[in-house]
A and B are shown apart, each in its own frame.
Chain A
Amino acid sequence: MQTFDLESHSLRELNSILHAQKDDTNQTSWEVINARGSHAIAVGLDAPIEVTIKGSTGYYCGGMNKQATINVHGSAGPGVAENMMSGTVVIEGDASQYAGATGHGGLLVIKGNASSRCGISMKGIDIVVHGNIGHMSAFMAQSGNLVVCGDAGDALGDSLYEARLFVRGSVKSLGADCIEKEMRPEHLEILNDLLMRSGADAKPEEFKRYGSARQLYNFDVDNAAAY
């Protein structure tokens, strides 16, 4: 275990060292202390390493991650794991707005609540939130799975494409073109796998599935008000 203190060393040093780790590195375990809400911690990683961050992080922690496993022992600021490609990011606390924005792959687990715009424009990432999510989540979400064990805020899945949304609790309101859909066996299977991998204490049968009504896919004048 390598320990890196962000109070005595700079962000640039931290990210340089983490970027220097290649696929075959033997320094696979890193701990970052004194995060104190700093931005851009452990961004752009591309190696199968584990990074544990003690304390809360600022904007874009784990941004554009590939391969790495990043654990935040605290809460995460805006845009955690934005545009993630692969790997895993786990937030022990809450996540601010834009969690997992535009993510292409990998798994983002938020053990607390996520704020607004969780999974905005997601493009293949899987996001599991143990608590609740805020308004405008999964706005223009393209693909991937968003699992919410608690409640969802206003305008869930507005202008949704093909991402799948699973919510166990209540949904304050659905956004334009987002509807409840039938839960089929293949969806229960996806859910089961994601709940297990994210350590969520919930059963697939307790969830409802939401998806795109596909009414905005090709312009129709009768739907103009929804644009």
Chain B
Amino acid sequence: MKDINDTPIPRTDPIQSATFTNPINAEIRRAAATGIYDIRGGGAKRRVPHFDDLLFLGASISRYPLEGYREKCETKVTLGTRFAKKPIELETPVTIAGMSFGALSGPAKEALGRGASAAGTSTTTGDGGMTPEERGHSDKLVYQYLPSRYGMNPDDLRKADAIEIVIGQGAKPGGGGMLLGQKISDRVAEMRNLPKGIDQRSACRHPDWTGPDDLEIKILELREITGWEKPIYVKIGGTRPYFDTTLAIKAGADVVVLDGMQGGTAATQDVFIEHVGLPTLACIRPAVQALQDLGMHREVQLIVSGGIRSGADVAKAMALGADAVAIGTAALIALGDNDPKWESEYQKLGTTTGAYDDWHEGQDPAGITTQDPELMARFDPVEGGRKLKNYLKVLTLEAQTIARACGKNHLHNLEPEDLCALTMEAAAMARVPLAGTEWYPGKAGF
């Protein structure tokens, strides 16, 4: 009789769990070893329905396109027309989102100012106050008014072109921040009135008001201090955009800044970034609905941010009803963040080009998200500024290209009806018909 052991038994292939994946298991081991949640920079990395799931319907016979090199497609936008004596006029609707000095180096902030100014748009301060580099190189500078009030002072407030009251951001709506000790250099410590080298904790609520009824009074105070000249923006993280936009308008905002979950941060818990908030795509229509319901669409401007990368994204956000967009992560990449030329150094940090997100640790090989003098010296703010200007120009040209193809002489004339959706999810979130149909989920008649 033949021993069955002589015949090899067919075996199953090893199967990786779809639930307990290698990255998940690695995180469990990391948590078990350290006892602290993972902190990182950037925005949501998971795939969520996005602008890529929308397409434009160009003109053909029923509509007529504009001639690209002859017929004008305007890109100017004015922000803050509701109450401010001095609204902000921009050449392009692509602005630079708030990023702090502290999170970014002084030269990186300078480069943002140079690039944005050359492209005719605005930059925004962050949780750390206004630096002379940034003010000096920014034609239009939006001053963020944050829960921490680090570096907050009335002189800088009066120097600003607009004031942005930050209530939340897409990466961490409802959360505060954490800047680890490595980045609290002498200069950062002085600007923030903190001891050098400690972990800086940022509050999640403003210290002297809570809720829309108080916010209305806070806005009054800021307007009184600055003589009703400057537009007051209110920035919210995308979670309940209809209600939050409504309340920002009722409280007296000139501009609502709405940041979806792909929007970045300098540092917060990974679990927060990946599991709290709405995809940018899903934020826009409810916010625009709120503006329309109050008769304030275009009267109060809407700036959308969170994962804007191309002129197509710009055009899609505007078609859904935004007046302008803001870019953060994309601007850093334009400056040189995560550039393959630093691959060997990313490897040394245990990461790779495109995945580097430990912006809070201050070891950025590209010299952008750091306060280390040697690393900072690698970054040339003039060259960085030029690259950012080029990139902003491309975003604008791309958006114009699409708008002309749709027969629009102004980016603002793009409409939801110029779009179709590739997926049911995107159709539902953007309230745009599924490609080739007249229908989107929630609309009767399927």
* A→B interface (CB under 8 Å): 11-12, 15-16, 19, 39-40, 43-44, 46, 58-60, 63-64, 66, 78-79, 82-83, 85, 98, 101-102, 104, 117, 120-121, 123-124, 139-140, 142-143, 159, 161-162, 216-219, 221, 224, 227
Contacts and interface: CB of A to CB of B under 8 A. Distances in A.
B227 A16 contact: yes
A119 to B, nearest CB: 10
Contacts of B81: none
Given A44-B225, A85-B153, A78 B36 contact: no
A218 B199 contact: yes
B199 A83 contact: no
Contacts, number: 111
A138 to B, nearest CB: 11
A46 B35 contact: no
Interface in B54-104: none
Given A12-B224, A12-B228, A44-B224, A64 B207 contact: no
Residue in A44, A104, A139 whose Cβ sees the most chain B Cβ within 10 Å: A44
A59 B199 contact: no
B35 A63 contact: no
Contacts of A16: 227
A224 to B, nearest CB: 7
Given A46-B154, A159-B201, A221-B36, A59 B221 contact: yes
A83 B154 CA distance: 8
A142 B208 contact: no
22 contacts: A15-B224, A43-B224, A44-B158, A44-B226, A59-B217, A79-B208, A82-B207, A82-B208, A98-B208, A102-B208, A104-B152, A104-B193, A117-B207, A123-B149, A124-B193, A142-B193, A216-B201, A218-B199, A219-B36, A219-B180, A221-B35, A224-B36
A79 B217 CA distance: 11
B424 interface: no
Contacts of A66: 154
B181 interface: yes
A217 B198 contact: yes
Contacts of A58: 217
B194 interface: yes
Given A44-B226, A218-B181, A120 B207 contact: yes
A19 B227 contact: yes
Nearest to B148: A121
B209 interface: yes
A63 B36 contact: no
Given A11-B224, A39-B220, A224 B208 contact: no
A39 B194 contact: no
Given A216-B201, A221-B34, 14 more contacts: A43-B225, A44-B226, A59-B217, A59-B218, A64-B157, A79-B209, A83-B149, A121-B148, A159-B201, A161-B198, A162-B195, A216-B199, A217-B181, A218-B197
A2 to B, nearest CB: 19
Given A12-B224, A19-B227, A60-B218, A101 B208 contact: yes
A66 B156 CA distance: 13
A24 B370 CA distance: 44
Contacts of B201: 140, 159, 216, 227
Interface string B176-193: 000011000000000011
B199 A219 contact: yes
A56 B357 CA distance: 51
A121 B203 contact: yes
A44 B227 CA distance: 10
Interface string B138-163: 00000000001100111001100000
Contacts of B221: 39-40, 43, 59-60, 63
B1 to A, nearest CB: 62
A123 B193 contact: yes
Which 5 pairs show the lowest CB-CB distances between chains A and B? A44-B225, A221-B35, A79-B208, A98-B208, A64-B154
Given A44-B154, A143-B193, A63 B225 contact: yes
Nearest to A19: B227
Contacts of B207: 82, 98, 101-102, 117, 120-121, 139-140
Contacts of B158: 44
Interface string B214-236: 10011011001111100000000
A111 to B, nearest CB: 21
A112 B56 CA distance: 65
A63 B214 CA distance: 15
A43 B217 CA distance: 12
Contacts of A15: 224-225, 227
B151 to A, nearest CB: 9
B217 A39 contact: yes
Given A121-B149, A221-B34, A140 B203 contact: yes
Nearest to A11: B224
A77 to B, nearest CB: 9
Nearest to B37: A224
A96 to B, nearest CB: 10
A64 B225 contact: yes
B230 to A, nearest CB: 12
Contacts of A60: 208, 217-218, 221
A82 B207 CA distance: 9
A65 to B, nearest CB: 8
A216 B214 CA distance: 31
A142 B194 contact: yes
Nearest to B178: A219
A36 to B, nearest CB: 15
A79 B224 CA distance: 15
B366 to A, nearest CB: 26
Contacts of B198: 161, 217-218
Contacts of B203: 121, 140
A120 to B, nearest CB: 4
B201 to A, nearest CB: 7
